[in-house]
């Protein structure tokens, strides 16, 4: 609407095309006595003077510069409006009025820009598409930065935490308290000890030459056993404490870290249970392998390990595909090598699976040399194999690297997805503000601002009241829509009213009021509605019989146009009838607080001015009997 | 003038083609070679060529006649013309309004309904020379009639609007189209609901009032005569006197 304010006079003039077809008289045009000739106004922003037409600013009446709010900044001596704001950013604000498009100047700080927009009453959602993405990106970055700062300051312990919560917090964020830190380092130390023990256990430290060398584990069994026991004790206690402190035990038990913990300590207990049982000692030995999983417990202590694990997890599909293609290559080359080397004697390539080893070693450029081709064909294919291996192995590295960086950008992608939703929200907001004009019209109708009688009474304070609530542009636009209503003999209503009336369609109600006789059988309309609280058109009636309410309507009182539309009070008799789609319903309620409409007594509008403000005030006060 | 290669002189005697540069240029083979070696962007990219020509069309700028001439043709003052032109130029920098822009501008005033059909009729009423675009002169002349013209002139303009094929008669079909477009502007959410028969009923009422000799069409004389007798219409004609 705002961008075409210049065309409003044209639209109004073109409304003359409706006049010959209208059967009803048109409402009076809003008073233009206060209309000034279009003049240049000076906007002094921190010393830099901008000049523009007044009409340009009036295009957007819901902003600071377009409304009467700017009068607060008017400087009488210099006849200009002074704003103590940034003049650089004011340029884009003013250009918005001039061109209808709001641009975001990239050199400006995002929060400063937001503040300027908020000051001048412009919503950032109307930034043009050319600049909107940049604006949103910068805003998000800023928000993330602030969020990070906030998290860094989150060290203050919230009061009234239970013992359990304290423990959990200590476990998750070791730097929060000294006890947690101590615990953190102690467990780390013991993990290290346990891993070293496992390693050293197998080192041969035999001394006697006549005995074959024994690993230290068998030599110092008791010592190692004690060490192991101690570590497992610590780990068990730690696990149990975590289990106790976890807010959701079930979820904790399912988490990777707890599984690692369990796997780390289980072998010990299983070993305790089945000691010296020859049959399962083999299995027991295998179990000891699992002790090495204790090293994974370090991942709680190391952020890098966690990211690595997450990376591998996230590029699992790429790695899987690569593994697949590698397998294909291995099978192909192994087959080729096998058949190539079949001829040569004492060849190590005894079978295709045996050639697999050669292929893998060659493709990864390891080249142990335990299997080498001897025939010429074998050598040729062997060289092809190693060359292609270089290529194939070189592929996963960028994949992993790119995945690693992708993880960092992944949260940005999630934000973009959120931005898509924001896009919809943004469009919705713009749409709402644009349809504000139509709801503005209905709102004005509600407040009875089509004040024909005011024109007749010409009371000054009422005019002022009028001009306070709507700008001239709005009132002219509303007048135009009102003319259209009169032309077609239908009225604009809110969507909700429409829905409601549609629901009640098919239920015809006869008017109960004798004054509202249906002349033209409008009860046959597709959707009859309850009375819209129309006042009686009869001049002699002093009863607000028009203020009829159906119980159902009470719930929607706040959205329905009120009967006390002043224009309806003074409408002539014959035109009242077609419009009053008949006041429906069993009239069970009455409006108590509405004063006797003074104009009902005198259609010529000797509406007493004192009643006018009271009238407006009482518009929404309704009670039901 | 030297005969080009292959060109036979009128005398009938075949002359040996002279191998001069001019003659060479006339050879179609040479011409083709030269044409194909022209800058590639001209030859191979038809899309850019058409988009260039599109650009050319869209940057056609229309300058209105001078202020004095317009002042003579219309009943506006200089200041009013200036103010009108500023608004016009702001919305249509090229100086011309085409139908789509016109429709979109007009639709903004009627957010609840569909104003495109009525805007189409309005466009035709303003676009006197039917060239598909409204210039500032058309715009201002039309406005002058609507705002500063006499009642007869305004009624004439309204008649012109209703008479879609400009044959001097308003038929029921034309009026029905106009009426439907007006009702379309109301949109869905009205009270009471717009029934399907509402436009045609309105048209019947209109014809009842206007068509004196009951011949099924309304002529300009009938129209003006009836309107002048109707007090409502006469009053409403004066409604927008001081819009500018």
- DSSP secondary structure of A454-476: HHHH--HHHHHHHHHHS-HHHHH
Per-residue pLDDT at A421: 61
Residues of A in contact with B240 (CB under 8 A): 12-13, 15-16, 29
pLDDT the model gives residue A52: 92
Rounded distance, CA A153 to CA A329, Å?
Answer: 54
Cβ distance A55 to B191 less than 8 Å, yes or no, reads no
Average pLDDT in chain B: 78
DSSP B38: S
Residues counted in chain A: 625
pLDDT above 90 as % of chain A: 15
Q: Is A368 left (phi over 0), alpha (psi -120 to 50) or beta?
A: alpha
Chain B residue with minimal CA distance to A523? B192
Instruction: Write down the pLDDT at residue B40.
Output: 52
Question: Percent helix, strand and coil across chain A, each rounded to 5?
Answer: 60, 5, 35
Instruction: Work out the minimum CA distance from B4 to partner chain A, whole angstroms.
Output: 58
Q: A64-78, A121-135, A143-157, B122-136 — which is least confidently predicted?
A: A143-157
Least confident among A193-207, A524-538, B100-114: A524-538
Residue B97: band (very low, low, confident or very high) from pLDDT cuts 50, 70, 90:
confident
pLDDT band per the 50, 70, 90 thresholds, residue A211? low
Q: What is the mean pLDDT of residues A572-594?
A: 37
Q: Is B202 at the interface with chain A, CB within 8 A?
A: yes
Those residues with Cβ within 8 angstroms of residue A157's Cβ, 6 or more apart along the chain or in another chain: A169, A176, A177
Residue A34: list chain B partners with CB under 8 A. none
Residues B143-198 have pLDDT tens digits of 888 888 888 888 888 888 888 888 888 888 888 999 888 888 888 888 888 888 88
**Interface A-B: count of C-beta contacts within 8 A:** 172
CB A563 within 8 A of CB A598: no
A74 vs A616, higher pLDDT? A74
State yes or no: pLDDT of B118 exceeds 80. Answer: yes
Nearest to B191 among A9, A19, A501 (CB): A501
pLDDT of residue A583: 38
- Chain A contact for B66 (CB, 8 A cutoff): no
B240·A525 Cβ contact <8 A: no
Q: Which residue has the higher pLDDT, A557 or A237?
A: A237
Read off the tokens for A329: 């290559």
Does the pLDDT value for residue A193 go beyond 60?
A: yes
CA distance A489 to chain B (A): 9
Using the predicted structure, report yes or no on whether residue A49 has a pLDDT greater than 70. Answer: yes
Instruction: Return the minimum-mean-pLDDT range out of B32-46, B116-130, B147-161.
Output: B32-46
pLDDT the model gives residue A419: 65
- Does A511 have pLDDT greater than 50? no
Residue A123 reports pLDDT greater than 80 = yes
* DSSP annotation of B191: E
The pTM assigned to this predicted structure is 0.47
Which residues of A fall within a CB distance of 8 Å from B149? none
List chain A residues with CB under 8 Å of B120: none
Calculate what percentage of chain A has a pLDDT beyond 70.
Answer: 64
Does the CB of B237 have a partner CB in chain A at under 8 Å? yes
Unique residue bearing structure tokens 């206007």: B210
* Cβ atoms of residues B202 and A24 within 8 Å: no
Hey, is the C-beta of B208 within 8 angstroms of any chain A C-beta?
Answer: no
Answer yes or no: is pLDDT of A326 > 80.
yes
CB-based contact A477 B109, cutoff 8 Å: yes
Which among B143, B182, B193 is the nearest to A18, CB-wise? B182
Residue position matching structure tokens 């390539």: A349
User: CA-CA distance, A179 to A182, in Å (whole number)?
Assistant: 5
Looking at the predicted structure, is the pLDDT value of residue B117 above 50? yes
- For residue B26, pLDDT over 60 is answered with yes
Q: Which range (A383-392, A403-412, A616-625) has the least confidence?
A: A616-625
Q: Please say whether the beta carbons of A532 and B190 come within 8 A.
A: no
Tokens, residue A432: 């709402």
Percent of chain B with pLDDT over 90: 2
Q: Left (φ > 0), alpha (ψ -120 to 50) or beta: where does B6 sit?
A: left
Give yes or no for a contact between A62 and A517, defined as CB atoms under 8 angstroms apart.
no
pLDDT value of residue A443 = 65
The predicted pLDDT at position A237 comes to: 92
CB A103 within 8 A of CB A128: yes
B64's tokens = 């209105």
Return mean pLDDT, chain A.
Answer: 72
Q: Is A170 a residue whose pLDDT tops 60?
A: yes
Is the pLDDT higher at A120 or at A274? Answer: A120
Mean pLDDT in residue range B62-91: 82
Q: Which two tokens stand for residue A53?
A: 């037409």
Alpha-carbon distance A583 to nearest alpha carbon in chain B (angstroms):
12
Lowest mean pLDDT among A77-86, A530-539, B180-189: A530-539
A3/B192 Cβ within 8 A = no
Of A72-86, A154-168, A243-257, A414-428, the least confident: A414-428
A463 in Cβ contact with B165 (< 8 Å): no
Give the per-residue pLDDT at B135.
Answer: 87
Query: Tokens for B117?
Result: 């059909």
From its phi and psi, is residue B12 left (phi > 0), alpha (psi between -120 and 50) or beta? left
- Which residue on chain B is closest to A487 by alpha carbon? B182
pLDDT one-digit tens code per residue, B206-220 = 888 888 888 888 888
- Are residues A4 and B105, on separate chains, in Cβ contact within 8 Å? yes
B229 touches chain A (CB under 8 A): no
Mean pLDDT of A45-57: 90
Q: Are B183 and A488 a contacting pair at CB < 8 A?
A: yes
Question: Which chain B residues are Cβ-neighbours of A522 within 8 angstroms?
Answer: 192
Inter-chain CB proximity B109 and A1 less than 8 Å: yes
Q: Which of A26-30, B80-84, B120-124 has the highest mean pLDDT?
A: B120-124
Measured in degrees and rounded to the nearest 5, phi and psi for residue A583 equal -60, 120
Whether the predicted pLDDT of A332 surpasses 90: yes
Per-window interface: B 144-183 vs A, CB < 8 A? 146-147, 154-155, 157-158, 161-162, 178-179, 182-183
pLDDT tens across A430-477, in order? 777 766 656 666 666 666 554 444 444 444 444 444 444 456 777 788
By DSSP bridging, strand B217-219 and strand A548-549 are: unpaired
Among A143, A22, A300, which residue's Cα sits nearest to residue B178? A22
Question: What's the pLDDT band for A42 if we cut at 50, 70, 90?
Answer: very high
């Amino acid at each position: 609407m705002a961008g075409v304010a210049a065309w409003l006079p044209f639209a109004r003039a073109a409304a003359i095309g409706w006049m010959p077809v209208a059967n009803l008289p048109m409402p009076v045009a809003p008073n233009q006595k206060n209309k000034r000739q279009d003049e240049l106004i000076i906007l002094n922003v921190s010393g830099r003077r901008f000049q523009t037409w007044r009409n340009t600013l009036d295009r957007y009446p819901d902003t600071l510069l377009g409304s009467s709010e700017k009068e607060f900044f008017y400087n009488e001596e210099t006849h200009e409006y002074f704003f103590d704001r940034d003049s650089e950013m004011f340029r884009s604000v003013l250009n918005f009025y001039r061109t209808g498009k709001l641009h975001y100047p990239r050199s400006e700080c995002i929060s400063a820009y937001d503040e300027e927009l908020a000051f001048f009453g412009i919503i950032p959602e109307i930034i043009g598409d050319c600049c909107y993405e940049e604006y949103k990106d910068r805003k998000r970055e800023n928000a993330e930065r602030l969020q990070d700062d906030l998290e860094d300051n989150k060290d203050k312990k919230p009061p009234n935490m239970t013992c359990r919560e304290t423990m959990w917090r200590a476990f998750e964020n070791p730097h929060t308290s000294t006890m947690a830190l101590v615990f953190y380092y102690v467990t780390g130390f013991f993990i290290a000890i346990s891993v070293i023990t496992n390693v050293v256990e197998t080192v041969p430290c035999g001394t006697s030459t006549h005995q074959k060398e024994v690993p230290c584990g068998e030599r110092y069994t008791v010592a190692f056993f004690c060490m192991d026991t101690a570590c497992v004790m610590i780990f068990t206690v730690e696990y149990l404490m975590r289990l106790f402190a976890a807010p959701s035990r079930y979820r904790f038990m399912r988490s990777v870290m707890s599984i690692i913990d369990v796997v780390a300590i289980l072998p010990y207990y299983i070993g305790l249970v089945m000691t010296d049982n020859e049959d399962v000692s083999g299995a027991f030995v295998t179990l000891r392998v699992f002790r090495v999983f204790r090293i994974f417990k370090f991942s709680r202590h190391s952020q890098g390990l966690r990211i690595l694990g997450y990376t591998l997890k996230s590029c699992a599909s790429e790695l899987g595909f690569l593994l697949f293609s590698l397998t294909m290559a291995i099978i192909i080359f192994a087959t080729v090598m096998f058949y190539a080397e079949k001829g040569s004697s004492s060849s190590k390539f005894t079978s295709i699976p045996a050639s697999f080893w050669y292929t893998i070693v060659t493709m990864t450029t390891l080249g142990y040399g335990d299997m080498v081709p001897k025939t010429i064909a074998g050598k040729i294919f062997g060289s092809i194999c190693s060359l292609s291996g270089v290529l194939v192995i070189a592929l996963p590295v960028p994949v992993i690297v790119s995945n690693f960086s992708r993880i960092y950008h992944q949260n940005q992608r999630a934000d973009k997805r959120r931005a898509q939703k924001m896009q919809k929200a943004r469009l919705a907001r713009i749409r709402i503000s644009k349809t504000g004009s139509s709801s503005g019209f209905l709102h004005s109708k509600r407040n009875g601002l089509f004040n024909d009688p005011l024109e007749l009474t010409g009371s000054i304070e009422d005019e002022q009241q009028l001009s306070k609530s709507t700008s001239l542009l709005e009132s002219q636009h509303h007048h135009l829509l009102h003319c259209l209503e009169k032309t077609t003999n239908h009225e604009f209503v809110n969507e909700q009213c429409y829905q409601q009336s549609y629901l009640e369609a098919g239920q015809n109600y006869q008017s109960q009021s004798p004054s509202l006789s249906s002349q033209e059988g409008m009860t046959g309309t597709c959707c009859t509605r309850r009375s819209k609280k129309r006042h009686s058109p009869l001049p002699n009636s002093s009863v607000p019989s028009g203020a009829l309410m159906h119980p159902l309507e009470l719930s929607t009182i706040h959205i329905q146009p009120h009967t006390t539309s002043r224009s309806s009070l003074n409408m002539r008799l014959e035109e009242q009838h077609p419009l009053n789609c008949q006041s429906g319903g069993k009239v069970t309620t009455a409006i108590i607080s509405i004063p006797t409409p003074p104009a009902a007594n005198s259609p010529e509008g000797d509406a007493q001015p004192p009643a006018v403000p009271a009238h407006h005030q009482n518009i929404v006060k309704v009670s039901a009997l | 003038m030297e005969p080009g290669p292959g060109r036979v002189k009128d005398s009938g005697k075949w002359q040996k083609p002279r191998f001069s540069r001019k003659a060479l240029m006339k050879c179609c083979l040479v011409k083709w070679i030269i044409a194909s070696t022209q800058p590639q962007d001209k030859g191979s990219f038809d899309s850019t060529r058409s988009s260039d020509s599109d650009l050319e069309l869209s940057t056609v700028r229309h300058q209105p006649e001078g202020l004095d001439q317009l002042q003579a043709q219309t009943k506006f003052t200089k200041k009013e013309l200036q103010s009108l032109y500023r608004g016009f130029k702001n919305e249509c920098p090229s100086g011309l309004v085409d139908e789509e822009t016109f429709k979109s501008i007009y639709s903004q005033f009627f957010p609840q309904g569909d104003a495109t059909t009525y805007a189409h009729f309005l466009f035709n009423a303003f676009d006197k020379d039917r060239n598909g675009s409204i210039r500032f002169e058309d715009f201002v002349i039309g406005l002058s009639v609507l705002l500063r013209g006499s009642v007869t002139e305004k009624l004439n303009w309204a008649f012109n609007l209703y008479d879609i094929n400009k044959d001097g008669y308003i038929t029921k079909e034309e009026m029905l189209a106009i009426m439907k477009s007006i009702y379309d502007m109301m949109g869905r959410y009205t009270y009471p609901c717009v029934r399907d028969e509402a436009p045609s009923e309105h048209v019947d009422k209109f014809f009842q009032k206007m068509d004196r000799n009951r011949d099924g069409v309304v002529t300009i004389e009938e129209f003006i005569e009836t309107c002048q007798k109707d007090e409502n219409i006469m009053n409403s004609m004066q409604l927008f006197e001081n819009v500018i």
